[in-house]
Homo-oligomer: A and B are copies of this chain.
Amino acid sequence: MEKVFQYIDENSEQYLNWLIEACNQPSVSAQNRGMIEMKELVKSFLSKVSAEIEEIETERYPIIYGEINNGKEKTLTFYNHYDVQPDDPIEEWLSEPFKVEIREGKIFARGVADNKGNLLARICAVHAYQQVYGELPINLKFVFEGEEEVGSPHLEYFATNFPEKLKTDAMIWEGGTRGVEDRRLNVGLGVKGISYLELVCRGANTDLHSSEAAIIENPAWRLIWALNTLKDKEENILIEGFFDDIAPLSEKEKKYIQSMHFDEEEIKELYGIKSFLKNVTGERLKEVLTAAPTCTICGISSGYIGEGSKTVLPSVAKVKLDFRLVPNQTPERVKELLRNHLDKHGFEDIGILQSHGIHPFNTNPEDPFVDVVLDSISEVYEEKPVILRNLAGSSPMYKMLKNTNIPAVQIGVANQQSNYHAPNENIYIDDYIQGIKVTASVIKNFR
């Protein structure tokens, strides 16, 4: 690999220029801004590695599908996206969002971290490998969508209707970060799912004077009682069947979870708390954070909530509940269990609105591809990686891979201060170059 790494170093300016070119092109899917130009630019990059390119049409922005078929045994797919978040609040940017500026070794631009830096790193890695060795040791596929920042509305359609294009032995997924202080690369094996629901409890058809509370039902109290049946004071979720579907952690997953850096004292001081939930500490704390489902009140409201007092009997009470799901829970099942639970406890009248739901997604840590990635990382980075069973955010991976056993691993070129979705998005030039190298290593090691 030394030759490929050397080639990458020698051509780092060219690879940086490709990224700058990509970042200078706006591509805001939510605002239909520059999307056609960006699509053409992505195709031009893919043509540099001689990929066969196809546009998968959707109602809005096509998925750019690329293939390099060398007739090899193994196929690896890169999933990335060419759309970016809007750039507002524009006034908080120190340089123009769509005109790259390099300051203190960092590249500043909207989308450089999420996700153009990764998209280009994949292409550059292939390019470098090809320049040094000519032929690749594996087949490659590229799935570059243009709608990730608007919820990937056509990824499921793609998976369902083009199964041959999704035929692959493994996937490198989107992006990832590196620790700022410890410089350890985060390797993502999955995400928790989410079921975000709103419960609505109604009383009289209008707010009333609170003196009427002696004889007229208060929906706020009913909601309190209903919520109290969901989770007890000891933080146990009481919904019948809620834990039944959960897959147990394998020994490897437990081991990977412990690779996480978590400074308890630092976090406690940062948030001004005396202890963690249920006084959990140490290995168990990491396990809970990573692998426990949650039932969280994200918002509750009823009646008068302004300053001072108003003597009102509310007519409606609402709560927003966020369930973080772990394999193999599903948003649909959780909603069903919640409905059954409320009915059983006499709260048939409390309505449930599903705000959104995302399935959890996890790669089997026993899959050999995980070791391929970990080995490749050790060739490029000095620091030992952190292996994350679940990232904090959400991901469209489930939509694409739900009926497959395809392992998908996330590694990327950003860092924990890259300002995803925020002003002054940035990555380190060095991380970009190392991202190219690690991708090249994966190509080499995955046979």
CB of A378 within 8 Å of the partner chain: no
Q: A148-178 vs B: 1/0 string, CB under 8 Å?
A: 0000000000000000000000000000000
**A299 B294 Cβ-Cβ under 8 A:** no
A311, CB-defined interface residue at 8 Å: yes
A318 → B minimal CB distance (Å): 8
> Is A292 in the interface zone, CB < 8 Å from B?
yes
Minimum C-beta distance from A235 to chain B (A): 8
Contact B210 A294 (CB under 8 A): yes
Q: Are A322 and B213 in contact (CB under 8 A)?
A: yes
Name which residue of chain B comes closest to A234, CB basis.
B225
Kindly supply a per-residue 1/0 record for chain A positions 336-361, scoring 1 wherever the CB is within 8 Å of any chain B CB and 0 otherwise: 00000000001000000001100000
A206 touches B (CB below 8 Å): yes
The answer to whether A317 has its CB under 8 Å from any CB of chain B is yes
- Distance, CA A285 to CA B214, complexed state (A): 9
Please give, as numbers and ranges, the residues of chain B lying within 8 Å of A289 by CB-CB distance.
212, 214-215
| Cα distance, A277 to B306, chains bound together (Å) | 27
Indicate if A271 sits at the interface (CB-CB under 8 A). yes
Q: Which residues of B contact A209 (CB under 8 A)?
A: 392
**Looking across the interface, which residue of chain B has its beta carbon closest to that of A274?**
B217
Q: Chain A interface residue count: which class?
A: 35 or more
For the complex formed, measure the closest distance between the CB of A151 and the CB atoms of chain B, giving whole angstroms.
13
Q: Contact check: which of B214, B227, B228 meets A324 at CB < 8 Å?
A: B214
**Smallest CB gap from A304: residue in B:** B299
Q: Which residue of B lies closest to A207 (CB)?
A: B298
Chain A interfacial positions (CB closer than 8 Å to B): 192, 194, 196, 198, 203-206, 208-218, 220-221, 224-225, 227-228, 231-233, 235, 271-273, 276-277, 280, 285, 288-289, 292, 294, 296-306, 308-314, 317-318, 320, 322, 324, 346, 355-356, 392-393
- Is A215's CB under 8 angstroms from B276's CB? yes
Q: A196-B311, A224-B228, A271-B204 are in contact. Are A216 and B299 (CB under 8 A)?
A: no
The reply to whether B228 and A288 form a contact with Cβ atoms under 8 Å apart is: no
Is the CB–CB distance between A302 and B312 below 8 Å? Answer: no
Chain B residues, Cβ within 8 Å of A312: 298-299
Name A196's closest neighbour in chain B (CB-CB). Answer: B309
**Contact of A314 with B299 in the complex, beta carbons under 8 Å:** yes
Nearest-neighbour CB distance to chain B for A239, whole angstroms, equals 14
- Select A296's contact among B205, B218, B272, B305, beta carbons within 8 Å: B218
- Report the bound CA distance from A280 to B302 in whole Å: 25
